[in-house]
Amino acid sequence: MLLHLKRIFPTIDYLLFGLMLLSLVSCRSDTSVDTIADQASEYVGSGTCITCHSAEYEDWIQSDHFAAMQPANDSTVLGDFDNVTFMADGVTNKFFRKGEKYFINTQGEDGLNHDYEIAYTFGVYPLQQYLIAFPGGRFQTTRASWDSREDRWFHQYTDQEIDHSDWLHWTGASQNWNTMCASCHSTDLQKNYMVESDSFATVWNEVNVSCESCHGPGSAHIAFVNSAAYGKGERLVNSGLAYGRDTTAQRQINACASCHARKSDISPDIVRSDELMDNLIPQVLSNEFYFADGQIREEDYVYGSFIQSKMFQNNVRCTNCHNPHSGKVKAEGNALCLNCHTSNYNTSAHHFHAPESEGAQCVNCHMVARTYMGNDHRRDHSFRVPRPDQSVKFGTPNACTNCHQEKTDSWASQTVSEWYGPNRRYHFSDDLIPGSLQDSTSEGHLLNLLSETLQPAIARATAAYYLGQVPSMNSISELILATADSMALVRYQAIRALENFPPELWRYKVSAGLSDQVRAVRIAAGDLYHRLSPESIPAEAKEAYTLADEENLDFLEYQTDFSVGNVMMADYELQEGNYENAIRYYLRGLQKDSLMNYARLNLATVYSIVGRNAEALKMLHQAVQIDPLNDRIYYNLGLLQYELNDADAAMVSFQKAVDLKSLNPGVYYNYGLLLQQEKKFKAAEAIYLKGIQLDPQGVNLNYALALFYLEQDKWTEAVKHGQLLKTMDPANPDFEMLFQQLGL
């Protein structure tokens, strides 16, 4: 009979190993501290730590980290496998045993049910998933999961039938353990993806999240405490560990962020530094993953919310609230907050709720929870003050109506004003929200936030990200300045944003990024300059570019087990002119995620370049079917239709992009040219002017309008746009004849 317990952990006998270690510690070596510091540390296993750190070890073996991944056996499996049937969302799942092995019968990648053996448990609380081995070294995580809070089977995607061909199906790329999960559930995991065979040879040092996951390899630490120098009182930074007891706040958050962040890993080769972005690239607060004000929406795994908080800005660490070894909070309820905050915050005069009620709990106002993976309730670590006034104006959520669901945001905003007065203290979201709207007022808000150096780096970096979508000279000027910002995340996003601007505006001004001290920034700069032809790269930057390009290529190759990684690699090959390689990678990306329209748009471009226009047209029509409200698809479709001499279809596509309120000046430039060519002069003028409203200093639009007005004998208007061109690009030989005609 299977026992259903919240936690059952295997007993580990380290007695013999501990005795060996004691004998080692008693024998001091003559190795110097300098020699130890110069040695590359190696992994030694968590069993090595128990002798000297028994209390921490006992905390750890009761933690979720310890149970992050385990071989499936009677001690680790929590789910009911006693011939139980569970039906959910159109799929029948049966859980059973054969001897000591555990199995699930469920829908496979062919749409039919099969028996699958459980290889590993994955996680423990509040849910436990199960890993199943597939060909090619793949492991897949089941969607049918065990709710260890309620002791029941459940389906994470309730009321959502997922087709077996969908990338969200448990056999698909989104649930592939090697790519999506492994590096944060095991110690020293090496993914070892082989792109040509689309297979893995993944290995780890320890199956779960062990001591060295956070502290780094331990051999130098062991050598140090065994040395005569240690006995004499000499000391080594962090005692030979990457992260030790007396480390900096920044290095502590780096240790946690390596797993508790929504991010991209750069390389399997770890750089031990105080700069997080030597090893990973965190997601900024874009409205793709966060609400417009920076509150959590999709899974952010804490880091992205915490570093935007006043807590982080005031040097609060994870370990101020959490026991780092057990993972548990250090006190329950408001007592945890009162470790730092004064008691007047725990009164009705502050929170205006009955003492000890739900409304009086600090976390319910300042750390609103959202549910992920079906039953995992996670709190927002941005510790923000509720802003129902922003909810009224912009539709962002707030803690007040999160609880008082029968009330309106207007009621909450008015109540807060009555309690605390009509004015709210400035928060970066006052600029970030309107900046995210990408309308005529956005640029000013984004420029203000980017320049506010006292605001959180992740918020300022998000402003840089959005400015990349605002095509103006003000935007590019500030982005160029931001490439020299003191914060690596801001520099990185500023360089990425420049990809959307003409190279002649930045190529001589941001090459310092190619030799930036931070690896992620060098990679971004290498990727930016890769768009240029070799002869266009400034001579003084060529050597730095070569090195940055190598780092960028290594990064891209490391991402090719992801669908988006294949698309990034395809973009690189497209820029190189390796069209067949680009096609191959785009198709691989679509094979892993059939809904990724970005790949279709660029694949259509490559097909067009190599003369396979029918395939290009088919690809864009597929994209429209998947995302009929995407203006960029209609723009690309219009360009291709025009190239195929189908002007009528091109005008329909361009007009659709305009109707969808495209912010791309190219839409209005090309559509205007086509209308002018078709002698629809009034319509052409209106479209050009819409484009100018979006990008008043746009070179192409001003050139087109100057010529248009010249042909229409509207001299004053032609001169106005010609003068703008003369100011912006006076030496451009393409404009010389126009300048002569206008007497400029």
Q: What is the pLDDT of residue 19?
A: 35
Mean pLDDT for 447-454 is 96
Q: What is the pLDDT of residue 223?
A: 87
Is 732 in a helix, a strand, or coil? coil
pLDDT tens readout for residues 286-334:
999 999 999 999 999 999 999 999 999 999 999 999 999 999 999 999 9
Of residues 45 and 30, the one with the higher pLDDT is: 45
Which range is least confidently modeled, 35-49, 63-77, 97-111, 268-282? Answer: 35-49
pLDDT exceeds cutoff 50 at 145: yes
Q: List b or e across 264-302, with b for residues whose CB sees 16 or more CB atoms inside 10 angstroms.
A: bbbbeebebbebbbbbbbbbbbebeebbbbbbbbeebbb
Q: What is the pLDDT of residue 31?
A: 66
Q: What is the pLDDT of residue 41?
A: 85
Mean pLDDT for 641-650 is 94
pLDDT exceeds cutoff 70 at 9: no
Mean pLDDT for 669-689 is 93
Domain ranges of the chain: 31-66+211-247, 69-200, 283-409
Is 113 in a helix, a strand, or coil? strand
Share of the chain above pLDDT 70, in %: 95
Q: What is the pLDDT of residue 274?
A: 85
Q: How confident is the model at residue 32 (pLDDT cuts 50, 70, 90)?
A: low
Q: How confident is the model at residue 13 (pLDDT cuts 50, 70, 90)?
A: very low
Please check whether residue 414 is in contact with residue 372, taking contact to mean a CB–CB distance below 8 angstroms.
no
Number of residues that this document lists for the chain: 744
Q: For residues 383, 385, 386 and 390, what is the CA-based torsion angle, rounded to 10 degrees? A: -110
pLDDT exceeds cutoff 50 at 88: yes
Q: How far apart are CA 91 and CA 651, in angstroms?
A: 46
Instruction: Indicate the helix (H) or strand (E) that contains 106.
Output: strand 101-107
Q: List b or e across 594-605, with b for residues whose CB sees 16 or more CB atoms inside 10 angstroms.
A: bebbebbbbbbb
Q: What average pLDDT does the chain have? A: 91
Determine what percent of the chain falls in helix, strand and coil, rounding each to the nearest 5. 50, 10, 40
Q: How far apart are CA 631 and CA 660, in angstroms?
A: 6
Mean pLDDT for 443-460 is 97
Token digits of residue 478: 């500030």
pLDDT exceeds cutoff 50 at 695: yes
Q: Residue 155 pairs with which residues in a beta bridge? A: 144
Q: What is the pLDDT of residue 159?
A: 80
Q: How confident is the model at residue 5 (pLDDT cuts 50, 70, 90)?
A: very low
User: CA–CA distance from 348 to each of 333, 337, 344, 352, 355 (Å)?
Assistant: 16, 16, 9, 4, 7
Token digits of residue 546: 């070569």
pLDDT tens readout for residues 598-620:
999 999 999 999 999 999 999 99
Mean pLDDT for 411-435 is 96
Q: How far apart are CA 120 and CA 67, in angstroms?
A: 11
pLDDT exceeds cutoff 80 at 12: no
Of residues 251 and 282, the one with the higher pLDDT is: 282
pLDDT tens readout for residues 347-373:
999 999 999 999 999 999 999 999 999
Q: What is the pLDDT of residue 739?
A: 82
Of residues 26 and 414, the one with the higher pLDDT is: 414
Angle CA 38–39–41, to nearest 5: 130
Amino acid at 385: V
Q: What is the pLDDT of residue 250?
A: 84
pLDDT exceeds cutoff 50 at 22: no
Task: Determine how many CB atoms are found less than 10 A away from the CB of residue 489.
Answer: 24
Is 713 in a helix, a strand, or coil? coil
Q: Select from 628, 704, 630, 611 the least CA-distant residue to 666.
A: 704
Q: How far apart are CA 83 and CA 616, in angstroms?
A: 51
Q: What is the pLDDT of residue 36?
A: 67
Q: Judging by DSSP bridges, how do beta strands 69-71 and 84-88 pair with one another?
A: unpaired
Is 128 in a helix, a strand, or coil? strand
Q: What is the pLDDT of residue 24?
A: 40
